[in-house]
Chains A and B, each alone.
Chain A
Amino acid sequence: MAKRIDVADLDIYYGSFKAVENVTLAVEPRSVTAFIGPSGCGKSSVLRTLNRLHEVIPGAYITGKVLLDGEDIYSADVDPVNVRRTIGMVFQRPNPFPTMTIRENVTAGLTLDGARRSKAELEQVVEKSLRGANLWDEVKDRLDRPGAGLSGGQQQRLCIARAIAVEPQVLLMDEPCSALDPISTLAIEDLIEQLKLNFTIVIVTHNMQQAARVSETTAFFNLPAIGQPGRLVEIAPTEQIFSNPGEQATEDYISGRFG
């Protein structure tokens, strides 16, 4: 249920602009890998290449390889739709479908693959996913209410429930707590602890304490100078990054000297 990701020599382009260059890293299954770095360094871009979502921006493309358990997700015979069904994503701003109920939001991904499911089966998935997202007790009595009526933190957990309902192999999280208050953030961090038992998780965060709290491995991205492509400075076990980083730039960043 969880797969590993290997990125090799990844360059990301938006049209003629090279946004990120020469990223090579490995994401271990059933672990949390955090991407940290200053704004604009390309960590979100790298995250979005992992499920080929960057492709929806006109003119965006990559060179290099992204392997999911050894299979290149960019090879010509791979359908990006299938990639995205295997690799789920949670976004920076909670984005439940505004016209759908809580229940419909959770099953939104399931109704796509065309497989007929019985009502009981769907109910089971709804409960399981909402429990998995630590939201069940709060919403079980109002599953037919609009998802957009929940609080920000609840909406984000609803989005997590929606993402895990399709049972992906990997869960990508793009600053999932940046729009949330500290209590909701704590709830999501607890949730990540549980989710990593089943999923491979990659999380982009601006919050270094968060990276330290939830991740096993941390990758530090940096921008050498304005207008130049972002780079992966180093990737190492989180403990090491925060206590004894290998690069000066990393130490400067985590000790708050810049960024």
Chain B
Amino acid sequence: MSSTRELPATPAPTASSGIKGKSVRRGDTVFRGLSRIAGIAILLTMSLIALFLVWRSIPSFTVNTANFFTTSEWFPDQTPPVFGIAALAFGTLMTSIIAMILAVPVGIGVALFISHYAHRRMSAILAFSTDLLAAVPSIIFGMWGLEFLTPHMQGLGQWLNDYLGFIPIFRNDLGQYSKSIFIAGVVLAIMILPTISALSREVFTQVPRGNIEASLALGATRWEMVRQAIFPFAKPGMISAAMLGLGRALGETIAVALILSASNSINWHFTEPGGNTFAANIALRWNEAGSTGLSALIASGLVLFIITLVVNVVARGIISRHAEFRGGN
């Protein structure tokens, strides 16, 4: 042992012991890069789609001799070209509105029953079945709607005409009840029902137990509890569920194309045959369209794109309006 024991004057900075120096953690860097790319890819895809739609629709706008927004006819390949989206927009919105009116209350009811009323086994079976319904391809719904629902809706259409015929949308002067906007709406309702129900179920089960018990302890009945504790908490989720359903209804193609007897007219008698939607129109005409025809169809696609965009932005707005009430616990 030497008496002059050396004390290290300044410990040599090492990567393992010091807090100084920035170490590069590769996992972090890679993951940050990947998630950034993923985020940018979404924005890029959206803008490229929009750009494509605008770019390809311009040729048809320049040759169209009719007003694009107020015209119902669709003859882009004749000379001079005449076409407009009035009937398409009408059909798309009306079938979707009918679908929403039917599907939103039922979907929320199903979700509520599964999450807060049914016994455990019953709710498991129901949840499984609604999820299964969501997985049925739309062509199946289309065939079913055409082959089964259309003949069986005859009676309901007749009844609506006989007893509610004083309301224009239920009147039917033709005596024919098939291939109508109404039937398309019903099929769409069944198609979007599982989406709405599955998503609302998800938010209903997230309502804090404390809020449910607080409401019950105040002397709320089950239904009062649902209105006081569940619905307010789940409202943003219910709105997004409905909007996702609406998005699917607006864009649904093949089922509607099968069911509607495509006619580009605006007819407020919803149970009469006829009507057309953006997506069905594109699907039905794409193969026979000439160059202006294709461009015109893309233009109608652009409108559909914008409509769904607006619907989603509005939904976001509604959801975030009461954002401050969602803080705290």
9 closest Cβ pairs, A-B complex: A148-B328, A85-B219, A95-B210, A109-B218, A99-B232, A89-B217, A84-B219, A95-B214, A146-B325
In the docked arrangement, what's the CA distance between A84 and B221, Å? Answer: 10
* A81 in the interface (beta carbon within 8 A): yes
Extra A-B contacts (15), CB below 8 Å, given A86-B219, A98-B233: A53-B213, A56-B216, A58-B120, A81-B220, A81-B221, A84-B217, A97-B232, A97-B233, A98-B326, A108-B228, A146-B325, A146-B327, A148-B325, A148-B327, A166-B219
Closest to B322 in A: A99
Q: Could you jot down 15 A-B contacts, CB within 8 Å?
A: A51-B217, A81-B220, A82-B219, A84-B217, A86-B219, A91-B214, A95-B211, A97-B232, A99-B235, A99-B325, A146-B328, A149-B324, A150-B328, A162-B214, A166-B219
Report yes or no: A95 in contact with B224, Cβ–Cβ below 8 A. Answer: no
**Interfacial chain A residues near B224, Cβ < 8 Å:** 112
Report yes or no: B218 in contact with A53, Cβ–Cβ below 8 A. Answer: no
Chain B residues within 8 Å of A, Cβ to Cβ? 119-120, 208, 210-221, 224, 228-229, 232-233, 235, 322, 324-329
In the docked arrangement, what's the CA distance between A51 and B210, Å? Answer: 16
In the docked arrangement, what's the CA distance between A112 and B220, Å? Answer: 6
**Interfacial chain B residues near A53, Cβ < 8 Å:** 213, 216-217
**Interfacial chain A residues near B210, Cβ < 8 Å:** 91, 93, 95
**Selected contact of A95 from candidates B208, B221, B235, B326, CB within 8 Å:** B208
**Interfacial chain B residues near A82, Cβ < 8 Å:** 219
Report yes or no: B218 in contact with A84, Cβ–Cβ below 8 A. Answer: yes
**Interfacial chain A residues near B221, Cβ < 8 Å:** 81
**Interfacial chain B residues near A56, Cβ < 8 Å:** 212-213, 216
In the docked arrangement, what's the CA distance between A251 and B318, Å? Answer: 59
User: In angstroms, how far is the closest chain A Cβ from the Cβ of B213?
Assistant: 6
Closest to B324 in A: A146
User: In angstroms, how far is the closest chain A Cβ from the Cβ of B204?
Assistant: 14
Most buried by B among A51, A86, A100, A109: A109
* A42 in the interface (beta carbon within 8 A): no
Report yes or no: A81 in contact with B211, Cβ–Cβ below 8 A. Answer: no
User: In angstroms, how far is the closest chain B Cβ from the Cβ of A162?
Assistant: 7
In the docked arrangement, what's the CA distance between A163 and B215, Å? Answer: 10
Report yes or no: A112 in contact with B325, Cβ–Cβ below 8 A. Answer: no
Report yes or no: A97 in contact with B220, Cβ–Cβ below 8 A. Answer: no
Report yes or no: B218 in contact with A148, Cβ–Cβ below 8 A. Answer: no
Report yes or no: B219 in contact with A109, Cβ–Cβ below 8 A. Answer: yes
Report yes or no: B232 in contact with A100, Cβ–Cβ below 8 A. Answer: yes
* A2 in the interface (beta carbon within 8 A): no
Closest to A111 in B: B228
Q: Which residues 53-96 of A sit at the B interface, judged by CB distance below 8 A?
A: 53, 56, 58, 81-82, 84-86, 88-89, 91, 93-96
Q: A88-B218, A108-B218 are in contact. Are A95 and B213 (CB under 8 A)?
A: yes
* A113 in the interface (beta carbon within 8 A): yes
Q: How many residues of A contact B (CB 8 A)?
A: 34
Most buried by B among A86, A91, A159: A91
Report yes or no: B218 in contact with A98, Cβ–Cβ below 8 A. Answer: no
Q: A97-B232, A99-B235 are in contact. Are A148 and B329 (CB under 8 A)?
A: yes
User: In angstroms, how far is the closest chain A Cβ from the Cβ of B117?
Assistant: 11
Most buried by A among B213, B214, B217, B235: B217
In the docked arrangement, what's the CA distance between A89 and B212, Å? Answer: 13
Closest to A147 in B: B328
Report yes or no: A100 in contact with B218, Cβ–Cβ below 8 A. Answer: no
Most buried by A among B214, B235, B325, B326: B214
Report yes or no: A98 in contact with B214, Cβ–Cβ below 8 A. Answer: no
In the docked arrangement, what's the CA distance between A91 and B235, Å? Answer: 25
Closest to A56 in B: B216
**Interfacial chain A residues near B219, Cβ < 8 Å:** 81-82, 84-86, 109, 112-113, 166
Closest to A101 in B: B325
**Interfacial chain B residues near A150, Cβ < 8 Å:** 328
In the docked arrangement, what's the CA distance between A147 and B233, Å? Answer: 14
Report yes or no: B229 in contact with A97, Cβ–Cβ below 8 A. Answer: yes
Q: A95-B208, A98-B233, A146-B327 are in contact. Are A112 and B214 (CB under 8 A)?
A: no
User: In angstroms, how far is the closest chain B Cβ from the Cβ of A202?
Assistant: 13
In the docked arrangement, what's the CA distance between A227 and B305, Å? Answer: 61
**Selected contact of A108 from candidates B212, B213, B215, B322, CB within 8 Å:** B215
**Interfacial chain A residues near B325, Cβ < 8 Å:** 98-100, 146, 148
In the docked arrangement, what's the CA distance between A113 and B224, Å? Answer: 10
**Interfacial chain B residues near A159, Cβ < 8 Å:** 214
Q: Mark A144-186, 1 if CB is under 8 A from B, else 0.
A: 0011111000010001001100100000000000000000000
Q: Mark A115-156, 1 if CB is under 8 A from B, else 0.
A: 000000000000000000000000000000011111000010
Q: A99-B326, A148-B327 are in contact. Are A112 and B120 (CB under 8 A)?
A: no
In the docked arrangement, what's the CA distance between A52 and B270, Å? Answer: 52
In the docked arrangement, what's the CA distance between A149 and B224, Å? Answer: 24
Closest to A55 in B: B216
User: In angstroms, how far is the closest chain A Cβ from the Cβ of B321?
Assistant: 12
**Interfacial chain B residues near A93, Cβ < 8 Å:** 210, 329
**Interfacial chain A residues near B120, Cβ < 8 Å:** 58
